[in-house]
Amino acid sequence: MILNASGCLDALTAPRVARSLDIYVAKTITPEPMSGNPQPRLAETDFGLLNSIGLQNPGVESFCAEILPRLEELGMPFWISVGGANAADYARVCERIGERESVSALELNLSCPNVDPAAAGAAEIVAACRAVSDKPLYAKLSPHLPDVAEVATGVIEAGASGLTLVNSLRGLVLDEWTLEPRLGRGVGGYSGAAMRPVALAAVYLCYEATKGAVPIVGVGGVQNGKQALDLIAAGASAVALGSVLFGDLEAPERVRTELEQEALARGFERPGEARGAAHRPSAG
């Protein structure tokens, strides 16, 4: 199953690309409108991309009135990413958006590197959202956590249905001549090919900690089918594409085809059969 990483594709400006995904994940929505971080917000690096968007969005009420109906017209499954400053904020958005039958799941953004961290702990946020919504809840966790597996088990116990691993790392890039930060906020979220080992480790550890009992969306630097298969072998049940979408709008279909071919080459009839292969003891 191929998704996009939240914030890496606007389905309303690129509906054909969105429909080439199995599930579309909308950008993070907060209770009130957010204007985002100061410009500039994007900067290329030698091995990836820095962004500092800052959860710019119209707020949940405008989203439900103006954007959500247009997403429903896509005629495909979609998730909504949810953000806030505290557990009550997250719960408010989940309750409001969760009323819509068209929303397949809610992804709780517990890990954005471009805003101040939520005041409440991850498990507290999940519990508050579970209390107001029966929608599937996916907890999106940060690669900066000292023990991501421990937090993963905590959010599952609090009511999360699955995990999204991982969000971007914090990074900084300086102007070649002025030596000043190239992003308006200074530090931003780093994504790209170098994220792959980080994402693999998080998926691997959380699959072990949860004994493979919950679905995991693996995200981090995937650019081809073999890299997607690696995440599945580590324990992912779905793969999200991020920065690759900025340069290759054909990536969803291409990666899906390559993934099927890579799985078949290794004796799996379907990519899903390779889930957890990295954890199986070698024969002999």
| Catalytic (active-site) positions | 112
Q: Is 193 exposed, middle or buried (0-12, 13-18, 19+ CB in 10 A)?
A: middle
Give Cβ neighbours of residue 32 (< 8 Å, ≥ 6 apart). Answer: 59, 60
Q: Distance (Å, rounded) from C-alpha 226 to C-alpha 250?
A: 16
Q: Distance (Å, rounded) from C-alpha 124 to C-alpha 187?
A: 27
Instruction: Give residue 65's identity as a one-letter amino acid code.
Output: A
Strands 162-165 and 169-171: unpaired
Q: Is 277 exposed, middle or buried (0-12, 13-18, 19+ CB in 10 A)?
A: middle
Tokens (6 digits) for 279: 């954890």
Tokens (6 digits) for 5: 């990483």
